[in-house]
């Protein structure tokens, strides 16, 4: 008997809550559309229904949320503040709803990922058609950016990153692929400037450097390992950039010697357009053992979308495009 009474009470409370959610979502639609009739067309309902719902919402709050003119409906100052708060609540609610659906065996729903621009162009983008074909109920939102996004703030479900995973100590990380780097130069540059026989000889060459957050005067060390022994070389040059595409174009044009990832220069080496130097050495900047890895928040650990994409990329990215 008590259970029945409780269920009836829950049912009575659910209906007003659902009506309030309908009103809030409608308010956002009206604000975005700039009018009742356009919002009604988008939602597939009568304009009069929209008007009554907004009147009821304003009455319950005791304040005007919308300014009505013959040509346009716009938010009042109170409406702007209210919509800002409501949007956060509705986003959190949508995320909670989706997390329930996303815990199943089959990936479904929207999925926001971030990826560095050049890596996206060469390695990720060519794979996405196959992933979407395998998971037709997933909607991908790909953010292409070279900065390390705040996954919680930017609502990123999974980030593909290149570097040392230990910098993401508060995230769950999964290695996707190795990230070997090659020292490369054009034949034209080597004919003009000579071919360095040892890594130490780089001290006298123009070295094209990746910007890792420091300025032009920041020291950059390239580390070389061979048979367990390591040697470090401080390199200098007239070009520093955070754009791998720019550095690739510069090294192809004969501007100097660069230390770039295999996934970027491998095809140019195989085609004979670039020469790889010091093939018996492992090379890396700042003694960092960088890899390609996936990072995601702990609350995404049970996400079927995260699991599916990580498994897909593990299988696809561990080899070169021609490997």
Cα separation, 167 vs 164, in Å, equals 6
Cα separation, 102 vs 109, in Å, equals 7
What one-character-per-residue DSSP string does 219-234 give?
-EEEEEEETTEEEEEE
Give the Cβ contact number of residue 90 at 10 Å.
15
Residue 152's pLDDT is 85
Backbone angles phi, psi at 161, to 5 degrees: -130, 160
The end-to-end CA distance of the chain, in Å, is: 68
* SS3 of residue 99 by DSSP: helix
Residue 178's pLDDT is 92
Map out the domains of the chain with their CATH numbers.
Answer: 2-101 (1.10.10.10), 109-179+290-317 (3.40.190.10), 181-285 (3.40.190.290)
Give the predicted TM-score (pTM) of the model: 0.68
* 142 sits in which H/E element: strand 138-144
Residue 109's pLDDT is 87
Residue 5's pLDDT is 42
Cα separation, 102 vs 239, in Å, equals 46
Residue 186's pLDDT is 98
Please write the tens of the pLDDT for every residue from 185-203.
999 999 999 999 999 999 9
Please write the tens of the pLDDT for every residue from 111-143.
999 999 999 999 999 999 999 999 999 999 999
Sign for the CA dihedral angle at 143, 145, 150, 154 comes to negative
Cα separation, 11 vs 21, in Å, equals 15
* SS3 of residue 319 by DSSP: coil
Residue 101's pLDDT is 54
With a cut of 70, list the residues of the chain below it in pLDDT.
1-17, 94-105, 213-218, 286-288, 319-323
Cα separation, 155 vs 111, in Å, equals 10
């Amino acid at each position: 008997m008590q259970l029945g009474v409780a269920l009836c009470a829950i049912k009575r409370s659910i209906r007003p809550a659902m009506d309030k959610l309908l009103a809030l979502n409608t308010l956002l639609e009206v604000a975005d559309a700039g009018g009742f009739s356009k919002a009604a067309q988008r939602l597939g309902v009568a304009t009069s229904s929209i008007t009554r719902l907004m009147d009821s919402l304003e009455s319950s709050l005791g304040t005007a949320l919308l300014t009505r003119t013959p040509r346009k409906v716009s938010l009042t100052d109170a409406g702007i503040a209210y919509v800002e708060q409501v949007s956060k609540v509705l986003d959190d609610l949508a995320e909670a709803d989706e997390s329930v659906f996303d815990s199943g065996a089959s990936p479904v729903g929207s999925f926001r990922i971030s990826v560095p621009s050049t890596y996206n162009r060469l390695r990720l983008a060519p794979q996405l058609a196959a992933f979407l074909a395998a998971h037709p109920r997933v909607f991908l939102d790909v953010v292409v950016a070279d900065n390390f996004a705040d996954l919680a703030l930017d609502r990123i479900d999974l980030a593909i990153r290149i570097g040392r995973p230990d910098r993401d100590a508060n995230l769950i990380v999964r290695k996707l692929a190795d990230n070997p780097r090659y020292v490369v130069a054009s034949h034209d540059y080597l004919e003009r400037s000579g071919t360095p026989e040892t890594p130490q000889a780089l001290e006298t060459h123009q070295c094209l450097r990746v910007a890792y957050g420091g300025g032009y005067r920041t020291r950059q060390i390239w580390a070389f390992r061979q048979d367990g022994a390591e040697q470090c070389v401080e390199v200098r040059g007239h070009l520093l950039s955070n754009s791998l595409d720019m550095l690739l174009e510069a090294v192809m044009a004969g501007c100097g010697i660069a230390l770039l990832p295999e996934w970027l220069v491998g095809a140019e080496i195989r085609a004979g357009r670039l020469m790889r130097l010091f093939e018996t050495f492992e090379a890396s900047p700042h003694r960092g053992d960088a890899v390609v890895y996936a990072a995601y928040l702990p609350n995404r650990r049970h996400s079927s979308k995260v699991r599916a994409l990580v498994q897909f990329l593990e299988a696809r990215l561990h080899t070169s495009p021609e490997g």
